[in-house]
């Protein structure tokens, strides 16, 4: 054999070896990519399935677990009211429904027993303000006083301080966050119940906008508002909604 033949064989072997190495590398790379895609698809399918299960459960008003319950919160501002709060409390009790009351300090001082009753019957008491004022139009000190005087009145009435505040007109002073350690609660649905005597109109406005986790704003300050509250509860319970306090709604 010539030396040249050896050279040819050697280069053929080298060439074959290189081809083998490159094929191996390409093969491994392809396997990794395919595996990755399969995993991603599997994950996507799992997420999709979980979503579908959740939707199906909510659609059937499912109460399989706490997370699948459709929750909604009724809130009543400006009370307690000696004429309408007792009627409302009776109706809520009949239906086993807890609500949240954002009360005025002046009214709490006049009707502490109503606040105590509401608290004892499982309702959440929150601060509205002392007098019905726009806190933004006050100095910081005056605004803090509005909150603290109301909270003292609540404490005197039911033995507990409130942790939640709904400032009148939804106007909170952001710079008070540090001085007043309360959770601000606004609303999702405002049927303007105070501006009408038609309970039906209030119900209609609420039902057209309500969805899961809605916070509904009402006032325990008129006969029509109380009637509207009762109808809203009956209609939404029939649709599979469960009423909770805003605290329970916000905790999730
Ligand atoms: Ni108000």
pLDDT tens digits for range 106-165: 999 999 999 999 999 999 999 999 999 999 999 999 999 999 999 999 999 999 999 999
**8-12, 52-56, 65-69: which has the minimum mean pLDDT?**
52-56
CA of 164 to the centre of ligand 1 (A): 14
User: DSSP of 157-168, one letter per residue?
Assistant: HHS----EE--G
Catalytic residue among 78, 123, 128, 219: 219
Which is more confidently placed, 243 or 4? Answer: 243
CA of 170 to the centre of ligand 1 (A): 9
Q: What is the mean pLDDT of residues 235-241?
A: 97
Percent of the chain with pLDDT over 90: 68
CA of 209 to the centre of ligand 1 (A): 21
CA of 137 to the centre of ligand 1 (A): 15
At residue 51, does pLDDT exceed 50?
A: no
Residue for token pair 């409130």: 162
Q: Which three-class secondary structure state does DSSP give residue 126?
A: strand
Confidence of residue 252 (pLDDT cuts 50, 70, 90): confident
Max Cα distance, the chain (Å): 119
| Nearest Cα residue to 221 out of 59, 71, 102, 55 | 102
For the ranges 17-26, 150-159, 176-185, the maximum mean pLDDT occurs at 150-159
Whether 77 is catalytic: yes
Residue 74 dihedral angles phi and psi, to the nearest 5°: -95, 135
Catalytic residue among 77, 78, 193, 220: 77
Q: What b/e readout covers 105-125, taking b as 16+ CB neighbours within 10 angstroms?
A: bebbbebbebbbbbbeeebbb
């Amino acid at each position: 054999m010539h030396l040249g033949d050896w050279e040819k064989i050697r280069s053929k072997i080298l060439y074959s070896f290189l081809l083998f190495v490159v094929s191996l590398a390409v093969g491994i790379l392809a396997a990794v990519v395919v595996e990755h895609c399969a995993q991603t698809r599997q994950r996507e399918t799992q997420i999709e399935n979980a979503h579908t299960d959740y939707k199906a459960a909510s659609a059937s008003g499912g109460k399989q677990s706490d997370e699948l319950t459709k929750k909604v919160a009724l809130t009543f501002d400006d009370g307690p009211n000696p004429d309408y709060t007792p009627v409302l409390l009776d109706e809520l009790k009949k239906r086993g429904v807890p609500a949240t009351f954002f009360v005025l300090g002046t009214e709490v001082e006049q009707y502490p027993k109503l606040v105590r009753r509401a608290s004892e019957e499982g309702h959440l008491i929150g601060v509205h303000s002392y007098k019905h004022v726009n806190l933004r139009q006050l100095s910081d000190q005056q605004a803090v006083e509005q909150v603290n005087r109301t909270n003292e009145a609540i404490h005197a009435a039911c033995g507990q301080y409130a942790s939640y505040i709904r400032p009148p007109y939804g106007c909170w002073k952001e710079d008070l966050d540090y001085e007043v350690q309360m959770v601000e609660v606004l609303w999702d649905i405002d049927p303007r119940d105070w501006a009408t005597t038609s309970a039906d109109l209030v119900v209609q406005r609420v039902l057209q906008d309500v969805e899961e986790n809605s916070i509904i704003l009402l006032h325990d300050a008129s006969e029509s508002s109380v009637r509207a509250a009762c109808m809203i509860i009956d209609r939404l319970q029939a649709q599979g909604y469960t009423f909770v306090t805003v605290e329970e709604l916000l905790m999730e």
